[in-house]
Amino acid sequence: MSVTSARTRRTRPLALLALVLAMAAAMLGVQTSTGVSAAAAGARPCDLYAAGGTPCVAAHSSTRALYSAYNSRLYQVKRASDGATRDIGVLGAGGYADAAAQDSFCAGTSCLITVLYDQSGRGNHLTQAPPGGFQGPAAGGYDNLAEASAAPVTVGGHKAYGVFVAPGTGYRNNRTNGIATGDQPEGMYAILDGSHRNGGCCFDYGNAETNSLDNGNGTMETIYFGDSKAWGYGTGNGPWVMADLENGLFSGVNRGYNANSPSISHRFLTAVVKGESNHWAIRAGNAQSGGLATHYDGPRPNASGYHPMKKEGAIILGIGGDNSNSSAGTFYEGVMTSGYPSNATENAVQADINAAGYATYAVPGTPAVGSRVSLRATTACCTNTYLRHNSADSNAALAAVSSSSTSADKAAATWTVRAGLGDASCVSFESADKPGQYLRHYDFRLRVDSIDSGALSRLDATFCPQAGHNGQGVSLRSANYPSDFVRHYDYGVYAASHGGSHAWDAATAWADDTSWVVTSPWA
Protein backbone atom coordinates (compact mmCIF):
# COMPACT_ATOMS: atom_id res chain seq x y z
CA MET A 1 0.00 0.00 0.00
CA SER A 2 1.37 3.43 -0.92
CA VAL A 3 1.82 6.12 1.67
CA THR A 4 -0.78 8.25 -0.07
CA SER A 5 -3.44 5.56 -0.11
CA ALA A 6 -2.80 4.80 3.56
CA ARG A 7 -3.42 8.45 4.45
CA THR A 8 -6.60 8.48 2.39
CA ARG A 9 -8.00 5.43 4.18
CA ARG A 10 -7.32 7.00 7.58
CA THR A 11 -9.16 10.25 6.78
CA ARG A 12 -12.39 10.56 8.76
CA PRO A 13 -15.63 11.29 6.84
CA LEU A 14 -16.40 14.32 9.01
CA ALA A 15 -12.96 15.76 8.35
CA LEU A 16 -13.47 15.24 4.64
CA LEU A 17 -16.84 16.99 4.79
CA ALA A 18 -15.36 19.88 6.76
CA LEU A 19 -12.55 20.19 4.25
CA VAL A 20 -14.97 20.24 1.30
CA LEU A 21 -17.00 22.98 2.99
CA ALA A 22 -13.85 24.95 3.82
CA MET A 23 -12.63 24.63 0.23
CA ALA A 24 -15.96 25.94 -0.98
CA ALA A 25 -15.62 28.91 1.36
CA ALA A 26 -12.11 29.54 0.07
CA MET A 27 -13.29 29.44 -3.54
CA LEU A 28 -16.12 31.83 -2.68
CA GLY A 29 -13.47 34.17 -1.31
CA VAL A 30 -11.76 34.15 -4.70
CA GLN A 31 -14.85 35.74 -6.18
CA THR A 32 -15.66 38.21 -3.37
CA SER A 33 -12.36 39.31 -1.88
CA THR A 34 -12.59 42.99 -2.81
CA GLY A 35 -13.54 44.20 0.69
CA VAL A 36 -12.72 43.52 4.31
CA SER A 37 -16.12 42.04 5.13
CA ALA A 38 -16.12 39.78 2.07
CA ALA A 39 -12.56 38.62 2.67
CA ALA A 40 -13.22 37.96 6.34
CA ALA A 41 -16.22 35.77 5.55
CA GLY A 42 -14.20 32.85 4.14
CA ALA A 43 -12.03 30.27 5.84
CA ARG A 44 -8.40 31.28 6.37
CA PRO A 45 -5.36 28.98 5.99
CA CYS A 46 -5.38 27.68 9.55
CA ASP A 47 -9.13 27.02 9.40
CA LEU A 48 -8.47 24.93 6.28
CA TYR A 49 -5.60 23.02 7.83
CA ALA A 50 -7.73 22.24 10.89
CA ALA A 51 -10.56 21.03 8.66
CA GLY A 52 -8.08 18.72 6.96
CA GLY A 53 -7.00 17.19 10.27
CA THR A 54 -3.58 18.89 10.34
CA PRO A 55 -4.00 21.98 12.53
CA CYS A 56 -1.57 24.90 12.64
CA VAL A 57 0.85 24.85 15.56
CA ALA A 58 2.52 28.10 14.48
CA ALA A 59 1.08 30.88 12.31
CA HIS A 60 3.05 34.03 11.52
CA SER A 61 2.09 36.96 9.32
CA SER A 62 2.77 40.68 9.13
CA THR A 63 0.01 41.20 6.55
CA ARG A 64 -3.22 39.48 7.65
CA ALA A 65 -5.01 37.11 10.00
CA LEU A 66 -4.51 33.42 9.25
CA TYR A 67 -7.68 32.33 11.10
CA SER A 68 -11.11 33.71 10.22
CA ALA A 69 -11.75 34.51 13.90
CA TYR A 70 -8.33 36.00 14.68
CA ASN A 71 -8.61 39.61 15.86
CA SER A 72 -5.40 40.30 17.73
CA ARG A 73 -1.77 41.34 17.25
CA LEU A 74 0.35 40.37 14.24
CA TYR A 75 3.72 41.89 15.07
CA GLN A 76 5.49 44.45 17.24
CA VAL A 77 7.56 47.42 16.10
CA LYS A 78 10.16 49.40 18.02
CA ARG A 79 10.72 53.08 17.30
CA ALA A 80 14.29 54.35 16.89
CA SER A 81 13.58 57.85 18.21
CA ASP A 82 12.68 56.79 21.75
CA GLY A 83 12.77 52.98 21.92
CA ALA A 84 9.00 52.74 22.39
CA THR A 85 7.17 49.66 21.09
CA ARG A 86 3.73 49.09 19.66
CA ASP A 87 1.80 45.98 18.67
CA ILE A 88 0.28 46.09 15.19
CA GLY A 89 -2.95 44.15 14.87
CA VAL A 90 -5.64 43.53 12.28
CA LEU A 91 -8.44 45.82 11.11
CA GLY A 92 -11.04 43.23 12.11
CA ALA A 93 -11.53 39.52 12.71
CA GLY A 94 -9.94 37.56 9.89
CA GLY A 95 -8.78 40.79 8.29
CA TYR A 96 -5.72 42.69 7.18
CA ALA A 97 -2.89 44.39 9.06
CA ASP A 98 -3.47 47.89 10.42
CA ALA A 99 -0.58 49.44 8.49
CA ALA A 100 -1.85 52.94 9.26
CA ALA A 101 -1.12 52.32 12.95
CA GLN A 102 2.50 51.52 12.07
CA ASP A 103 2.79 54.53 9.77
CA SER A 104 1.48 56.84 12.48
CA PHE A 105 3.67 55.36 15.23
CA CYS A 106 6.84 55.40 13.10
CA ALA A 107 6.29 58.80 11.46
CA GLY A 108 9.46 60.88 11.34
CA THR A 109 11.72 58.06 12.41
CA SER A 110 12.46 54.41 11.60
CA CYS A 111 11.09 51.28 13.22
CA LEU A 112 12.23 47.67 13.52
CA ILE A 113 10.05 44.56 13.69
CA THR A 114 10.87 43.09 17.10
CA VAL A 115 8.28 40.29 17.37
CA LEU A 116 6.27 38.22 14.91
CA TYR A 117 3.38 36.91 16.98
CA ASP A 118 2.07 33.35 16.68
CA GLN A 119 -1.64 33.34 15.87
CA SER A 120 -2.10 29.66 16.83
CA GLY A 121 -2.37 30.39 20.55
CA ARG A 122 0.67 28.24 21.36
CA GLY A 123 2.97 31.18 22.00
CA ASN A 124 5.44 30.29 19.24
CA HIS A 125 6.43 33.91 18.66
CA LEU A 126 9.54 34.81 16.66
CA THR A 127 12.03 37.30 18.10
CA GLN A 128 15.60 38.43 17.41
CA ALA A 129 17.77 35.39 16.70
CA PRO A 130 20.56 34.73 19.23
CA PRO A 131 24.17 33.88 18.31
CA GLY A 132 24.78 30.42 16.90
CA GLY A 133 27.48 28.17 15.55
CA PHE A 134 27.94 30.11 12.32
CA GLN A 135 30.90 32.47 12.46
CA GLY A 136 29.60 35.16 10.15
CA PRO A 137 28.54 38.83 10.24
CA ALA A 138 26.63 38.46 13.51
CA ALA A 139 29.05 36.07 15.21
CA GLY A 140 29.15 36.76 18.92
CA GLY A 141 25.99 38.84 18.88
CA TYR A 142 22.30 38.76 18.13
CA ASP A 143 21.10 39.09 14.54
CA ASN A 144 19.70 42.31 13.14
CA LEU A 145 15.98 43.00 13.07
CA ALA A 146 14.03 43.87 9.93
CA GLU A 147 13.28 47.50 9.12
CA ALA A 148 9.52 47.71 9.50
CA SER A 149 8.74 49.81 6.41
CA ALA A 150 11.12 48.08 4.01
CA ALA A 151 8.65 45.82 2.19
CA PRO A 152 5.32 47.57 1.53
CA VAL A 153 2.63 45.64 -0.37
CA THR A 154 -1.13 45.68 -0.68
CA VAL A 155 -3.32 42.77 0.39
CA GLY A 156 -6.97 42.89 -0.59
CA GLY A 157 -6.39 46.51 -1.55
CA HIS A 158 -5.03 47.38 1.92
CA LYS A 159 -1.48 48.54 2.55
CA ALA A 160 0.64 46.15 4.60
CA TYR A 161 4.31 45.40 5.22
CA GLY A 162 6.39 42.27 4.79
CA VAL A 163 9.44 41.22 6.79
CA PHE A 164 12.46 42.35 4.75
CA VAL A 165 15.45 40.16 5.58
CA ALA A 166 18.80 41.69 4.65
CA PRO A 167 22.03 39.72 5.25
CA GLY A 168 22.60 39.59 9.00
CA THR A 169 18.88 39.67 9.84
CA GLY A 170 17.17 36.74 11.55
CA TYR A 171 14.33 35.61 13.85
CA ARG A 172 14.07 32.49 16.00
CA ASN A 173 12.26 30.65 18.79
CA ASN A 174 14.23 27.83 20.43
CA ARG A 175 11.56 27.01 23.03
CA THR A 176 8.42 26.13 21.17
CA ASN A 177 5.17 24.35 21.91
CA GLY A 178 3.72 21.63 19.68
CA ILE A 179 6.26 21.76 16.83
CA ALA A 180 7.22 18.37 15.35
CA THR A 181 10.29 16.62 16.76
CA GLY A 182 12.14 13.49 15.74
CA ASP A 183 10.42 11.83 12.79
CA GLN A 184 6.98 13.29 13.52
CA PRO A 185 4.99 14.50 10.49
CA GLU A 186 4.55 18.18 9.74
CA GLY A 187 3.76 20.63 6.96
CA MET A 188 4.54 24.27 6.30
CA TYR A 189 4.02 27.00 3.76
CA ALA A 190 5.36 30.53 3.34
CA ILE A 191 4.44 33.46 1.10
CA LEU A 192 7.65 35.11 -0.10
CA ASP A 193 8.87 37.81 -2.48
CA GLY A 194 10.17 35.83 -5.46
CA SER A 195 12.27 38.77 -6.64
CA HIS A 196 14.19 39.27 -3.37
CA ARG A 197 16.82 36.63 -2.73
CA ASN A 198 20.52 35.82 -2.94
CA GLY A 199 22.84 32.83 -2.83
CA GLY A 200 23.76 33.22 0.83
CA CYS A 201 22.92 30.66 3.47
CA CYS A 202 20.15 30.43 4.29
CA PHE A 203 16.78 32.08 3.82
CA ASP A 204 14.72 29.49 5.70
CA TYR A 205 11.37 29.25 7.44
CA GLY A 206 10.55 26.22 9.50
CA ASN A 207 11.84 23.61 11.95
CA ALA A 208 15.44 23.86 13.24
CA GLU A 209 17.79 23.01 16.09
CA THR A 210 16.96 24.26 19.57
CA ASN A 211 20.54 25.26 20.43
CA SER A 212 21.34 27.32 17.29
CA LEU A 213 24.04 24.81 16.29
CA ASP A 214 24.49 22.36 13.43
CA ASN A 215 23.50 19.11 15.13
CA GLY A 216 23.87 16.92 12.06
CA ASN A 217 21.93 15.60 9.10
CA GLY A 218 18.17 15.50 9.55
CA THR A 219 17.95 17.88 12.51
CA MET A 220 16.12 20.50 10.42
CA GLU A 221 13.14 20.65 8.08
CA THR A 222 12.51 24.08 6.59
CA ILE A 223 11.47 25.86 3.42
CA TYR A 224 14.48 27.38 1.66
CA PHE A 225 14.29 29.97 -1.13
CA GLY A 226 17.25 31.43 -2.99
CA ASP A 227 19.96 31.04 -5.61
CA SER A 228 22.43 28.87 -3.72
CA LYS A 229 23.99 25.95 -5.59
CA ALA A 230 26.30 24.92 -2.75
CA TRP A 231 24.23 21.89 -1.69
CA GLY A 232 21.46 21.47 -4.23
CA TYR A 233 19.70 23.12 -7.15
CA GLY A 234 17.30 22.59 -10.02
CA THR A 235 16.88 23.67 -13.61
CA GLY A 236 17.85 27.09 -14.93
CA ASN A 237 19.67 29.74 -12.95
CA GLY A 238 17.30 29.82 -9.98
CA PRO A 239 15.98 30.80 -7.60
CA TRP A 240 14.56 27.52 -6.33
CA VAL A 241 12.28 26.35 -3.57
CA MET A 242 14.17 23.64 -1.68
CA ALA A 243 14.15 22.00 1.72
CA ASP A 244 16.91 22.72 4.22
CA LEU A 245 17.28 19.42 6.08
CA GLU A 246 20.63 20.43 7.64
CA ASN A 247 23.91 19.94 5.81
CA GLY A 248 21.92 19.89 2.62
CA LEU A 249 19.54 22.03 0.58
CA PHE A 250 17.53 19.37 -1.20
CA SER A 251 15.49 19.86 -4.37
CA GLY A 252 14.70 16.13 -4.62
CA VAL A 253 15.94 12.74 -3.52
CA ASN A 254 19.52 13.38 -4.63
CA ARG A 255 22.17 15.75 -3.38
CA GLY A 256 22.99 18.36 -5.98
CA TYR A 257 20.98 18.68 -9.17
CA ASN A 258 17.37 17.50 -9.54
CA ALA A 259 15.72 17.99 -12.92
CA ASN A 260 12.15 18.36 -11.62
CA SER A 261 12.95 21.48 -9.56
CA PRO A 262 12.26 24.55 -11.74
CA SER A 263 13.49 28.10 -11.36
CA ILE A 264 10.80 30.36 -9.89
CA SER A 265 9.81 33.76 -11.28
CA HIS A 266 6.66 34.70 -9.35
CA ARG A 267 6.70 38.11 -7.64
CA PHE A 268 4.59 36.59 -4.86
CA LEU A 269 5.49 32.96 -4.24
CA THR A 270 3.75 30.21 -2.30
CA ALA A 271 6.37 27.70 -1.10
CA VAL A 272 5.41 24.41 0.58
CA VAL A 273 7.52 21.73 2.29
CA LYS A 274 6.10 18.79 4.22
CA GLY A 275 7.54 15.59 5.65
CA GLU A 276 6.66 12.35 7.40
CA SER A 277 8.42 9.04 7.94
CA ASN A 278 10.63 8.43 4.88
CA HIS A 279 8.44 10.64 2.75
CA TRP A 280 8.48 14.35 1.94
CA ALA A 281 7.40 16.80 -0.74
CA ILE A 282 8.04 20.25 -2.21
CA ARG A 283 5.23 22.24 -3.82
CA ALA A 284 5.11 25.81 -5.09
CA GLY A 285 2.95 28.24 -7.03
CA ASN A 286 2.05 31.81 -7.82
CA ALA A 287 0.51 33.38 -4.73
CA GLN A 288 -1.55 35.73 -6.90
CA SER A 289 -3.28 33.15 -9.09
CA GLY A 290 -3.41 29.46 -10.00
CA GLY A 291 -2.66 26.27 -8.17
CA LEU A 292 0.36 24.53 -6.68
CA ALA A 293 2.79 22.42 -8.70
CA THR A 294 4.50 19.46 -7.07
CA HIS A 295 8.26 19.67 -7.58
CA TYR A 296 9.06 16.55 -5.58
CA ASP A 297 7.07 13.87 -3.78
CA GLY A 298 8.95 10.79 -2.64
CA PRO A 299 11.32 9.21 -0.14
CA ARG A 300 13.80 11.02 2.04
CA PRO A 301 17.19 11.89 0.50
CA ASN A 302 19.42 8.96 -0.42
CA ALA A 303 22.14 10.12 1.97
CA SER A 304 22.79 9.00 5.51
CA GLY A 305 21.10 10.73 8.42
CA TYR A 306 17.80 11.78 6.84
CA HIS A 307 15.73 8.71 7.67
CA PRO A 308 14.57 8.69 10.32
CA MET A 309 14.60 12.46 10.79
CA LYS A 310 15.84 14.01 14.03
CA LYS A 311 13.95 17.29 13.99
CA GLU A 312 14.33 19.37 17.15
CA GLY A 313 11.36 21.76 16.98
CA ALA A 314 12.80 25.29 17.01
CA ILE A 315 11.39 27.80 14.49
CA ILE A 316 13.60 30.03 12.34
CA LEU A 317 13.02 32.79 9.80
CA GLY A 318 15.66 34.23 7.47
CA ILE A 319 18.59 32.15 8.77
CA GLY A 320 19.99 28.62 8.79
CA GLY A 321 19.84 26.24 11.72
CA ASP A 322 23.26 27.28 13.03
CA ASN A 323 22.39 30.98 12.56
CA SER A 324 24.02 31.19 9.11
CA ASN A 325 22.76 34.67 8.27
CA SER A 326 24.15 35.82 4.93
CA SER A 327 20.85 35.36 3.10
CA ALA A 328 18.22 37.78 1.82
CA GLY A 329 14.49 37.49 1.29
CA THR A 330 11.07 38.86 2.20
CA PHE A 331 8.44 36.97 4.22
CA TYR A 332 4.75 37.85 4.32
CA GLU A 333 3.06 34.90 6.01
CA GLY A 334 3.63 31.26 6.88
CA VAL A 335 2.43 28.42 9.07
CA MET A 336 3.59 25.09 10.47
CA THR A 337 1.21 22.18 11.07
CA SER A 338 0.87 19.11 13.21
CA GLY A 339 0.61 16.18 10.81
CA TYR A 340 1.27 15.75 7.11
CA PRO A 341 -1.26 17.87 5.13
CA SER A 342 -2.98 16.42 2.09
CA ASN A 343 -2.59 18.01 -1.32
CA ALA A 344 -6.31 18.82 -1.20
CA THR A 345 -5.85 20.84 1.98
CA GLU A 346 -2.90 22.72 0.51
CA ASN A 347 -4.87 23.39 -2.66
CA ALA A 348 -7.62 24.94 -0.57
CA VAL A 349 -5.06 27.07 1.26
CA GLN A 350 -3.64 28.19 -2.10
CA ALA A 351 -7.13 29.24 -3.20
CA ASP A 352 -7.43 31.39 -0.08
CA ILE A 353 -3.98 32.89 -0.74
CA ASN A 354 -5.08 33.78 -4.28
CA ALA A 355 -8.21 35.38 -2.80
CA ALA A 356 -6.16 37.45 -0.36
CA GLY A 357 -5.07 39.66 -3.25
CA TYR A 358 -1.34 40.21 -2.76
CA ALA A 359 -0.08 43.02 -5.00
CA THR A 360 2.95 45.28 -5.28
CA TYR A 361 2.98 48.74 -3.72
CA ALA A 362 4.76 51.53 -5.56
CA VAL A 363 6.48 53.92 -3.16
CA PRO A 364 5.65 57.39 -4.52
CA GLY A 365 8.69 59.17 -5.91
CA THR A 366 10.80 56.03 -6.37
CA PRO A 367 13.27 56.56 -9.24
CA ALA A 368 12.78 54.31 -12.24
CA VAL A 369 15.57 51.93 -13.19
CA GLY A 370 17.30 53.27 -16.29
CA SER A 371 16.39 56.89 -15.63
CA ARG A 372 18.73 59.79 -14.95
CA VAL A 373 17.95 61.75 -11.79
CA SER A 374 19.22 64.24 -9.29
CA LEU A 375 18.49 64.01 -5.55
CA ARG A 376 17.45 67.22 -3.79
CA ALA A 377 17.61 67.72 -0.04
CA THR A 378 14.35 68.58 1.76
CA THR A 379 15.71 70.12 5.00
CA ALA A 380 14.53 73.74 5.24
CA CYS A 381 18.09 75.08 5.18
CA CYS A 382 19.07 73.26 2.06
CA THR A 383 16.28 72.91 -0.49
CA ASN A 384 18.54 74.24 -3.26
CA THR A 385 21.21 71.63 -2.58
CA TYR A 386 21.75 68.24 -4.21
CA LEU A 387 23.62 65.05 -3.50
CA ARG A 388 26.82 65.07 -5.58
CA HIS A 389 30.34 63.70 -5.51
CA ASN A 390 33.44 65.77 -4.94
CA SER A 391 36.04 65.97 -7.68
CA ALA A 392 39.04 65.87 -5.35
CA ASP A 393 38.33 62.94 -3.05
CA SER A 394 35.23 61.22 -4.57
CA ASN A 395 33.31 61.63 -1.30
CA ALA A 396 29.61 62.39 -1.59
CA ALA A 397 28.55 65.84 -0.43
CA LEU A 398 25.66 68.28 -0.40
CA ALA A 399 26.07 71.34 -2.62
CA ALA A 400 23.94 73.99 -4.26
CA VAL A 401 23.26 73.46 -7.95
CA SER A 402 21.38 75.83 -10.24
CA SER A 403 20.97 76.62 -13.91
CA SER A 404 24.04 78.85 -13.69
CA SER A 405 26.27 76.09 -12.26
CA THR A 406 29.10 74.74 -14.37
CA SER A 407 28.50 71.70 -16.52
CA ALA A 408 30.95 69.77 -14.32
CA ASP A 409 28.98 70.59 -11.16
CA LYS A 410 25.72 69.62 -12.83
CA ALA A 411 27.18 66.30 -13.97
CA ALA A 412 28.55 65.56 -10.50
CA ALA A 413 24.99 65.89 -9.14
CA THR A 414 23.45 63.55 -11.71
CA TRP A 415 22.94 59.79 -11.31
CA THR A 416 21.80 56.95 -13.53
CA VAL A 417 19.47 54.60 -11.68
CA ARG A 418 20.37 50.91 -11.97
CA ALA A 419 18.81 47.78 -10.56
CA GLY A 420 20.38 47.18 -7.16
CA LEU A 421 23.82 45.61 -7.56
CA GLY A 422 23.40 43.66 -4.35
CA ASP A 423 19.62 43.30 -4.37
CA ALA A 424 17.62 43.65 -7.58
CA SER A 425 14.51 44.74 -5.65
CA CYS A 426 16.34 47.94 -4.67
CA VAL A 427 18.43 50.45 -6.69
CA SER A 428 22.01 51.58 -7.22
CA PHE A 429 23.16 55.02 -8.42
CA GLU A 430 25.81 55.14 -11.14
CA SER A 431 27.70 58.42 -11.46
CA ALA A 432 26.70 60.18 -14.68
CA ASP A 433 30.17 61.62 -15.27
CA LYS A 434 32.11 58.62 -13.95
CA PRO A 435 30.54 55.64 -15.74
CA GLY A 436 31.17 52.38 -13.91
CA GLN A 437 31.45 54.11 -10.52
CA TYR A 438 28.60 53.98 -8.05
CA LEU A 439 27.42 55.72 -4.92
CA ARG A 440 28.32 53.49 -1.97
CA HIS A 441 28.95 53.72 1.73
CA TYR A 442 32.38 52.94 3.12
CA ASP A 443 32.96 53.27 6.87
CA PHE A 444 29.56 55.05 6.92
CA ARG A 445 30.70 57.85 4.56
CA LEU A 446 29.16 57.86 1.09
CA ARG A 447 31.42 58.16 -1.96
CA VAL A 448 31.61 57.15 -5.61
CA ASP A 449 33.73 54.12 -6.28
CA SER A 450 34.27 51.22 -8.64
CA ILE A 451 32.44 48.11 -7.46
CA ASP A 452 34.05 44.68 -7.59
CA SER A 453 32.23 41.36 -7.80
CA GLY A 454 32.26 40.82 -4.03
CA ALA A 455 28.91 40.66 -2.26
CA LEU A 456 29.90 43.26 0.34
CA SER A 457 30.79 46.08 -2.05
CA ARG A 458 27.71 45.39 -4.15
CA LEU A 459 25.48 45.64 -1.09
CA ASP A 460 27.30 48.79 0.01
CA ALA A 461 26.21 50.32 -3.32
CA THR A 462 22.56 49.27 -2.99
CA PHE A 463 19.80 51.41 -1.49
CA CYS A 464 16.12 50.64 -1.00
CA PRO A 465 13.64 53.51 -1.47
CA GLN A 466 10.95 53.99 1.16
CA ALA A 467 8.45 56.75 1.81
CA GLY A 468 10.29 59.90 2.92
CA HIS A 469 10.60 60.12 6.69
CA ASN A 470 9.36 63.72 6.69
CA GLY A 471 6.56 63.05 4.20
CA GLN A 472 8.53 64.35 1.23
CA GLY A 473 10.17 62.31 -1.52
CA VAL A 474 11.91 59.09 -0.56
CA SER A 475 14.28 57.85 2.10
CA LEU A 476 17.08 55.56 0.91
CA ARG A 477 17.77 52.64 3.23
CA SER A 478 21.08 50.81 3.14
CA ALA A 479 20.57 47.32 1.75
CA ASN A 480 22.95 45.73 4.24
CA TYR A 481 22.43 47.94 7.31
CA PRO A 482 18.65 47.97 7.77
CA SER A 483 18.60 50.82 10.31
CA ASP A 484 20.82 53.16 8.26
CA PHE A 485 19.57 55.67 5.70
CA VAL A 486 21.33 58.09 3.34
CA ARG A 487 21.65 61.34 5.30
CA HIS A 488 23.34 64.68 4.78
CA TYR A 489 25.10 66.03 7.85
CA ASP A 490 27.30 69.14 7.90
CA TYR A 491 27.27 68.95 4.08
CA GLY A 492 28.76 65.46 4.07
CA VAL A 493 26.62 62.41 3.22
CA TYR A 494 26.50 59.31 5.42
CA ALA A 495 24.68 56.06 6.12
CA ALA A 496 23.05 57.12 9.38
CA SER A 497 20.79 55.57 11.99
CA HIS A 498 18.38 57.61 14.10
CA GLY A 499 20.13 58.42 17.36
CA GLY A 500 23.17 56.16 16.98
CA SER A 501 26.68 56.63 18.35
CA HIS A 502 28.13 58.80 15.56
CA ALA A 503 27.75 62.55 15.14
CA TRP A 504 25.87 62.01 11.86
CA ASP A 505 23.31 59.82 13.70
CA ALA A 506 22.08 62.82 15.69
CA ALA A 507 18.32 62.88 16.23
CA THR A 508 18.00 66.58 15.35
CA ALA A 509 16.51 67.02 11.86
CA TRP A 510 17.07 63.32 11.12
CA ALA A 511 13.73 62.87 9.34
CA ASP A 512 14.37 65.90 7.13
CA ASP A 513 18.01 65.06 6.45
CA THR A 514 17.11 61.50 5.34
CA SER A 515 14.37 62.57 2.92
CA TRP A 516 15.21 63.29 -0.73
CA VAL A 517 13.14 64.49 -3.65
CA VAL A 518 13.93 62.77 -6.94
CA THR A 519 14.15 65.49 -9.60
CA SER A 520 14.97 65.81 -13.27
CA PRO A 521 18.70 65.37 -13.89
CA TRP A 522 20.96 68.39 -13.98
CA ALA A 523 23.03 66.77 -16.72
What positions carry a catalytic annotation? Answer: 246, 322
Tell me whether residue 43 is exposed, middle or buried, using C-beta atoms within 10 angstroms of its C-beta: 0 to 12, 13 to 18, 19 or more: buried
Distance, CA of 70 to CA of 75 (rounded, Å): 13
Name the DSSP class of 48.
H
Distance, CA of 444 to CA of 98 (rounded, Å): 34
CA distances from 469 to 81, 101, 110, 149, 500 (A): 12, 15, 8, 10, 17
Distance, CA of 465 to CA of 497 (rounded, Å): 15
Please name every residue paired with 37 in a beta bridge, in sequence order, or none if there are none: none
**Nearest by Cα to 266 from 243, 292, 244:** 292
For 109, the 3-state DSSP assignment is coil
Cα-based angle 494, 437, 455 (whole degrees, multiple of 5): 75
**Nearest by Cα to 391 from 437, 457, 459, 441:** 437
Cα-based angle 9, 13, 15 (whole degrees, multiple of 5): 100
